């Protein structure tokens, strides 16, 4: 239990640090003075000052902030103020938080492929893994087997193997396999997985392939971003039920992931990082997305929105978010008890 709590706090802390560091680094690059960089809320546990910036670690590890000069109206015209910078510079600063969450996801996925999973080699038909209790395992197909043909049609690439198998759910297929110096014939019936045939095999994977791992990290992160946006739209229109987890729910999932191993834990951190980045881009008051919307309106109008009105909207949004967070935590606890 203690290990799960510590792992959850560390994971959330890393994700928050990445988000706030995105704001911080772009603010510094654009000449905006950062007054405070904090991880967590509430009472300060550790803090120090350097270069005019206060760095701190606070008691409640459920958020963080990067406070910049000019966020208070009275400092708007000071040198190094956020408000004094061009709209595009301010947009970059605000968007950089979510951008860094996406970058972190890419790094985590790449780390996972580089050290643990390896990069699938699709230019060969050699089988790198046979899953237990799958159709391939049941008929005696083994790791290291090389698929020569399926249904008397020659295959030379892994994608060709997958394509033929996927096209024959619940239909018998004949596989010609090279095992060492021996040609072996196997007949297997792919399982039907929502209209797609599967026999439980995976290609050979190469570990420590740096550029290929980065490419897969980018590809999978892009796929995940698209998937989450589609899921959010489906939740909004009511085609799928809304399912939101707070810190307690995340802790439960982290505990399960820890039992499954490092790969699942790293994958979970990457998925949550992408979710955090997307949620912050939504045009909800108090989130980065609403600040981006105000900056876009300022660019269109040629003058900023009244800071008092914008601040009031963000305050209302922040209050609602706190109430929603309380409800989500209550729901997480009720789900665990039941």
Say yes or no: 96 and 232 in one domain: yes
Say yes or no: 16 and 160 in one domain: no
Q: What was the pLDDT predicted at 334?
A: 64
Instruction: Please state, in angstroms and rounded to a whole number, the distance separating the CA atoms of residues 113 and 206.
Output: 9
pLDDT tens per residue across span 267-281: 989 999 999 999 899
- Provide the pairing of β-strand 153-154 with 191-193: unpaired
Asked if 217 and 191 count as a contact pair (C-beta separation under 8 A), the reply is: no
Number of structural domains in the chain: 2
Going by pLDDT thresholds of 50, 70 and 90, the confidence category of residue 177 is: very high
Least-confidence region, from 89-103, 255-269, 308-322: 308-322
Instruction: Please state, in angstroms and rounded to a whole number, the distance separating the CA atoms of residues 35 and 32.
Output: 9
Of residues 128 and 311, more confidence is placed in 128
Going by pLDDT thresholds of 50, 70 and 90, the confidence category of residue 249 is: low
Q: First-to-last CA distance in the chain?
A: 18
Say yes or no: 102 and 238 in one domain: yes
What mean pLDDT comes out for the span 211-234?
92
Helices 210-237 + 87-112 axis angle, to 10: 110
Instruction: Please state, in angstroms and rounded to a whole number, the distance separating the CA atoms of residues 284 and 291.
Output: 9
Say yes or no: 6 and 112 in one domain: yes
Q: What was the pLDDT predicted at 317?
A: 73
Give the helix ranges, DSSP H, for 30-157. 87-112, 135-138
Asked if 24 and 97 count as a contact pair (C-beta separation under 8 A), the reply is: no
Q: What was the pLDDT predicted at 304?
A: 81
Say yes or no: 200 and 220 in one domain: no
Going by pLDDT thresholds of 50, 70 and 90, the confidence category of residue 167 is: very high
Instruction: Please state, in angstroms and rounded to a whole number, the distance separating the CA atoms of residues 242 and 333.
Output: 17
Active site residue 74: no
Say yes or no: 152 and 106 in one domain: no
**% of the chain beyond a pLDDT of 90:** 64
Say yes or no: 110 and 133 in one domain: no
Q: What was the pLDDT predicted at 1?
A: 60
Give the helix ranges, DSSP H, for the chain. 2-29, 87-112, 135-138, 158-166, 210-237, 247-260, 262-281, 288-301, 307-337
Of residues 49 and 6, more confidence is placed in 49
Q: What was the pLDDT predicted at 307?
A: 73
- CATH no. for residue 177? 2.30.42.10
Say yes or no: 201 and 274 in one domain: no
Say yes or no: 220 and 332 in one domain: yes
Say yes or no: 193 and 308 in one domain: no
Say yes or no: 56 and 127 in one domain: no
Instruction: Please state, in angstroms and rounded to a whole number, the distance separating the CA atoms of residues 23 and 25.
Output: 6
Asked if 277 and 19 count as a contact pair (C-beta separation under 8 A), the reply is: yes
Residue 192 host element (H or E):
strand 191-193
Say yes or no: 252 and 108 in one domain: yes
- Out of 206, 241, 267, a domain closes at 206
Residue 6, domain extent: 2-118+215-337
């Amino acid at each position: 239990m203690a290990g799960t709590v510590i792992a959850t706090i560390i994971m959330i802390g890393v994700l928050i640090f990445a988000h706030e560091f995105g704001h911080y680094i772009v603010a510094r690059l654009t000449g905006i003075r950062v007054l405070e960089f904090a991880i967590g809320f509430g009472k300060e546990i550790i803090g120090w000052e350097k270069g005019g910036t206060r760095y701190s670690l606070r008691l409640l590890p459920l958020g963080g902030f990067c406070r910049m000069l000019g966020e208070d109206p009275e400092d708007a015209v000071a040198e190094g103020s956020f408000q004094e910078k061009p709209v595009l510079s301010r947009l970059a600063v605000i968007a950089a938080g979510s951008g860094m969450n996406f970058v972190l996801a890419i790094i985590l996925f790449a780390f996972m492929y580089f050290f643990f999973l390896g990069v699938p080699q699709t230019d060969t038909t050699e089988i790198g893994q046979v899953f237990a209790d799958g159709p391939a395992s049941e008929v005696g197909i083994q790791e290291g087997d090389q698929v020569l043909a399926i249904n008397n049609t020659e295959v030379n690439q892994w994608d060709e193997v997958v394509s033929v198998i996927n096209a024959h759910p619940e239909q018998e297929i004949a596989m010609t396999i090279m095992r060492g110096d021996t040609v072996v014939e196997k007949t297997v019936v792919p399982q039907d997985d929502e209209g797609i045939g599967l026999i439980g095999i995976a290609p050979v994977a190469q570990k420590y392939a740096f550029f290929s791992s980065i490419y897969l990290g980018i590809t999978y992160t892009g796929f995940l971003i698209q998937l989450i946006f589609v899921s959010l739209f489906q939740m909004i229109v009511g085609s799928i039920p809304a399912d939101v987890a707070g810190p307690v729910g995340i802790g439960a999932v982290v505990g399960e992931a820890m039992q499954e191993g490092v790969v699942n834990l790293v994958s979970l951190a990457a998925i949550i990082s992408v979710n955090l980045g997307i949620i912050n881009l939504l045009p909800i008051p108090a989130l980065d997305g609403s600040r981006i919307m105000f900056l876009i309106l300022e660019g269109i109008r040629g003058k900023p929105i009244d800071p008092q009105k914008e601040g009031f909207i963000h305050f209302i949004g922040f209050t609602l978010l706190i109430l929603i967070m309380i409800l989500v935590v209550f729901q997480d606890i009720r789900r665990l008890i039941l």
